Structure 1
């Protein structure tokens, strides 16, 4: 389960960077809307999956609310899920 969460964290981080680094500039500067829509849907689904898995993992491993809050905040920051994976998840696999 932890490996699935780690994969989801990486994919969520990549989708976040694609959304803000590529598709949003395409949408607002080049008036190309379709990539933003598809990457946005993917990112939204991955974000929800990330949060559900974060709750499940924190519950199963008895990590507590502090670690969950760290994982939540990491999902809101660019490169945050990569940092969380390296600092909090990789050593626990």
Structure 2
């Protein structure tokens, strides 16, 4: 059962991290260079939903595999760093899979 929780966390982290990258590197340039602010509105809303989902998945994973607070804090912090979830995914893969 813990393997399933880790797999869900990895997927949620990569999806959330991908949405951050899409927001920063595609939607924001479209807003400022192409004059399309509605792209940021749509992508930002989707990213917000995925971020909240990611927080719930962190909580679920913490309960299922009894993560230390260091892992929880790290998972939260990397959500704000572009490419951070990719780095964390490699760490989780090495440690728990």
Q: Does 1:32 align with 2:36?
A: yes
Count of residues paired in the alignment: 92
Q: Which residue of structure 1 aligns with residue 19 of structure 2?
A: 15
Among 5, 9, 26, the alignment partner of 1:5 is 9
Structure 1's consecutive aligned runs of 4 or more residues displaced over 6 angstroms after TM superposition are none
CA distance in 2, matches of 1:19, 1:62: 32
Alignment TM-score, normalising by the size of structure 1 = 0.89
Alignment TM-score, normalising by the size of structure 2 = 0.86
Q: What do you get for the CA RMSD once the two structures are aligned?
A: 1.2
SS of alignment partner, residue 31 of structure 1: coil
Unaligned runs of 5+ in 2: none
Q: Which residue of structure 2 aligns with residue 84 of structure 1?
A: 88
Q: Which residue of structure 1 aligns with residue 59 of structure 2?
A: 55
Unaligned runs of 5+ in 1: none
SS of alignment partner, residue 78 of structure 1: coil
